[in-house]
Amino acid sequence: MTGASPYRLVGARPEPEFEVRVDGRPVPVVPGQTVGAALHAAGVRTWRTTRFGGRRRGLFCGIGVCFDCLVTVNGVENLRACLTEARPGDEVTTS
């Protein structure tokens, strides 16, 4: 790290973070971030395993094309974490 940060770069004064729970673990979110971005920022790079090889998957295309990052949010299955905006109190589960 060079001391630079994206927050300094754009002069961000973010609103207070809220939490979502991912498989029971709290993950902090800046209002407006996607579930996938919040997980990635929290150092969680994978949250799904594939059906056959049990390979770990997380963000790949990041824009809703590849479907690698699927999660269940409040019981709604197969949502793309990279597109799904997190909301306070969301219960996210992974497979």
Partner 1 sequence: MTADAATYDLVVVGAGPAGLAAAGVAARAGLRVAVLDSGARVGGQYFRALPDGFRAARPWALHHGFSRFVRLRDGLDGADVLLNHRVWAAGPAPGGGFAVHCLAGREERAGTVTGARLLIATGAHDRVLPFPGWDLPGVMTAGGAQALLKGNLVVAGRRVVVAGTGPFLLPVATSLAAAGAKVAGVFEAGGRFALAPRALTRPGKAAEALAYGWGLARHRVPYKGGRAVVAAHGDGELTHVTVARVDAEWRPYRGGHETVECDVLAVGYGFTPQLDLAAQLGCAIGADAAGGPAVRVDRHMRTGVPGVYAAGETTGVGGADLAELEGLIAGRAVVADALGVPAGTGVGARPEPGTGFGPGIRSEARVGARLEARRRRLTGFARALLRAYPVKDGWTSWLRDDTLICRCEEVPYGRVKEARDLGAADARSIKLLARPGMGWCQGRICGEAVARLAGEEPGPPRRPVAQPVRLGDLAAMDERTSDDDS
Residue pair 28/19 in contact (Cβ under 8 Å)? The answer is yes
- Report the SS3 class of residue 84: coil
CB of 24 to partner 1, least distance (A): 21
Residue 7, H or E segment? helix 6-10
For partner 1, the closer of residues 19 and 83 by Cβ is: 83
Applying CB under 8 A, the residues found at the interface with partner 1 are 1-7, 9-15, 30-34, 37-38, 40-41, 45-46, 50-53, 55-68, 70, 73, 76, 78-79, 82-85, 87
- Report the SS3 class of residue 36: helix
For partner 1, the closer of residues 26 and 31 by Cβ is: 31
